[in-house]
Structure 1
Amino acid sequence: DAYNASPMSMEKSLETFSQIYNDRLKVVVLGDMLELGENELELHSNLFNTIKNTKFDKLYLFGNRMKSLFEKIKENVENKNMDNGNFEINEALKNGEFEHFDEKERIKEKIRQISAEKVVLLKASRGMKLEEIIEK
């Protein structure tokens, strides 16, 4: 779904993806949501509340705005109190299976290196052209 993205559509896509394809390796690729206004960084980092409960094996983030989500994940994963029962966090995040990229080609390479049967969710605003990741 690399044509349109808003906080609500990101959350719904992640929630749906979490419930399907659980018999395969799951890769989530999220790119920037554009045209959100002055709170855009906060809206990106707030996706952590959905991401932490989403079932996936690897998370690849792309774009300047997604750096705020990447930093929020790092901050929460590094927090030594994360296992104290206050909230659960996705195992892939605990295991460091999340990265931020400045180039789509690097994401494409990472996905190519996965030999297991996999399914990939691509979600971003149209201007991010995430579909280029799956083009030959």
Structure 2
Amino acid sequence: MNTMTEEAVIRLSQAVCDTLSDEDDGLKREVLTHAGNRWSLGIVHTLGVEGKLRHAEIGRRLEGVTQRMLTRSLRQLERDGLIKRFDHSEVPPRVDYELTSLGRSFLAHMVPLWMWLLENAQDFRAARARFDEA
């Protein structure tokens, strides 16, 4: 996509949006909330880097996440097929989480966005400073 002109990117964006049904558009918005959610993105990244982890291990790697928010985020990611939950049916309970192939693909597609953000961080900071001064 880097070789496309901005105008071509805009036309492609519009063409894709024009093909989305209301149901697809809703799904797009719901799934993309993971990309903007601190905990969901943190979980996906952690599982991508570390591999299969238990609930508590994920929590220890995400500074500041509450037990409730971690559980809620894991359930949402599992519902959308980005992670898989393995219940070992043991006492005491043991549950592991792992990225699915869809989750690994999601993570791989986030990297270019992160790189773009880092490359443009100074521009964002400058724009915010100008706005805040006005």
**Normalised by the shorter chain, which TM-score bucket?**
under 0.3
- The structure where strand makes up a greater share of residues is 1
TM-score in terms of structure 1 length: 0.24
**Which structure would you say has the larger Rg?**
2
- The structure where helix makes up a greater share of residues is 2
TM-score in terms of structure 2 length: 0.25
